[in-house]
A = this chain, B = another copy of it.
Amino acid sequence: MTEVDTRELRYFIAVAEELHFGRAADRLGIAQPPLSRAIRRLEHRVGARLFDRTGRGVRLTAAGEVLLAEGRAALDAVSAAVRRARRAGRPRRSLTLVMKPGGDAGLLPAILAAYAARPGAAAVDLVFSQSERAAMLRDGRADVGLLHHPQNDLTGLDTEPLRTERRVAALAEGHPLAARATLSLADLAGEPMAQWPEAAERGNGPRVEEAGQMWQLVVLGRAVALVTESAAERPYRGVVYRPVTDAAPATLVLAWPAESRSRDVAEFTAAARAALAPALTGQT
């Protein structure tokens, strides 16, 4: 049986996401008929129908659902392979760390210092992303990252827990709930929660793409936000913080691709572990 090519996977994923051949073709920059043929050929190679063609649009079959999830991972792996090889070709040895601005709970300086102190440490480049950190680790745009568990999907990543934090609600000073000392999730149920792009659109709050927007909306009382307690250590004028007692705590983790064979990544994670060992033992 002939091999499946990355182009076919990209085509399939486009259709699976759009659930519409025409729109998918449009997005891919090709016409619809070649796309139909490509999907048909792919179905033949896989040996299973991937879509149910109903008169109106299409639906994924069970096999299609599997191929969508696994195919995305596979394409990420291909991208990662190329990106990492490209980086390895540059004379400068570097390690790319991705984080959310301010999302290090204050631990990053110690980690970077511990790593830099090691002989043969590579330069650490910092990049920032709100909602694509896990994806960037998976497709090779970053080597290590600071994520939150269980808020981020850590599938395919190895992790080292750094610190577990309680979650607090950020409210405008004048907000009625600000009068309470602690809150529960039920108290927040009716409130407009800031919606990050990563979340499926299910909430009733305003969409935000960037932390500054979120804080602005919170100050204005247009949104409330659920953040980690370390965020509350950097007070934001006009915002008060109230613990949410029944919100699952967030664990800040250092994450890297599970299949990583990079010596630099191993060194970095070891340095982070060593740097934080006292704090961790003190915590547990």
Give me the interface of A with B, judged by CB distance under 8 Å: 3-7, 9-10, 45-50, 61-67, 69-71, 73-74, 77-78, 80-82, 84-90, 140, 155-158, 258-262
A sample of 15 more A-B contacts (CB under 8 A), given A9-B81, A48-B89, is: A4-B81, A5-B6, A45-B82, A46-B82, A48-B88, A49-B89, A61-B89, A66-B85, A66-B88, A67-B81, A70-B84, A71-B85, A73-B259, A155-B259, A158-B258
A79 to chain B, nearest CB (A): 8
Query: Whole-angstrom distance between the alpha carbons of A203 and B7 in the complex?
Result: 44
Question: With A7-B3, A48-B86, A86-B47 in contact, do A74 and B63 touch (Cβ < 8 Å)?
Answer: no
Query: Whole-angstrom distance between the alpha carbons of A158 and B259 in the complex?
Result: 10
A149 to chain B, nearest CB (A): 15
Chain B contacts for A7, CB-based, 8 A: 3, 5
Question: With A5-B6, A6-B5, A69-B261 in contact, do A86 and B46 touch (Cβ < 8 Å)?
Answer: yes
Q: Kindly identify which residue among B62, B74, B258 contacts A88, using a CB–CB cutoff of 8 Å.
A: B62
For the complex of A and B, 4 pairs with smallest distance between CB atoms: A48-B89, A70-B81, A63-B89, A67-B85
Query: Whole-angstrom distance between the alpha carbons of A7 and B4 in the complex?
Result: 9
- Can you list 11 A-B contacts (CB < 8 A)? A5-B6, A9-B78, A48-B88, A63-B89, A64-B85, A67-B82, A67-B84, A70-B80, A70-B85, A71-B81, A78-B78
Query: Whole-angstrom distance between the alpha carbons of A4 and B84 in the complex?
Result: 13
Query: Whole-angstrom distance between the alpha carbons of A50 and B158 in the complex?
Result: 28
Query: Whole-angstrom distance between the alpha carbons of A90 and B46 in the complex?
Result: 11
A131 to chain B, nearest CB (A): 20
CB pair A90 B48 closer than 8 Å: yes
